[in-house]
Structure 1
């Protein structure tokens, strides 16, 4: 029986069941796929060796456009900076280090004293001081 271009097979109860024909959306990532980000492009790779999609896709403009905080901070990767975070209603915390990475909602600073990475919430940043 063919109904809306899908094959159905009847059961003993009289209701049709759809035959399993694989995942209907091959472009969507499954749990075994990973995403690689290089420069301004995202590449999806499939670890199953079938349906490999290596088409570069541009990153969202919030990350690449310097009119946004994320885009501007990406132009300062590798520079020393002091970042002021607001926690709650009146608590400021200062973190300083070398900017290592900028994500959609976070930044990564490398602490120059300990060498550890410090990840901070982008939405709680209030001031960023970048000395010359």
Structure 2
């Protein structure tokens, strides 16, 4: 039984490494944004994640090793027709399993976790280095 569990965990963690894609900004996209005066959505900050507090997460240090994220990971929630607030509420309820910093849709950017601290939801490498 222990061997099956260990094998499952190894496969599960390995799947995160295989699924990581590196995406760089495309100058045509950036030029389109600049040429059309497209402004980003104003960030709405409402910290609702308490798992970044070591006194509430079993003593885990949630600080980035160099003080800030070194990359950005974008997750797709994969739930058709879901609303941003539904996804945020789900994340807050299940934060002991995983959580991300911010959510975005076509018109909103909502940050629910302190971006100067790590999140979890992208595996050991992603969690350690990325804003999510």
Task: Return the TM-score normalized by structure 1.
Answer: 0.21
Higher helix share: 2
Q: Which has the larger radius of gyration?
A: 1
TM-score w.r.t. the length of structure 2 is 0.21
Structure having the higher strand fraction is 1
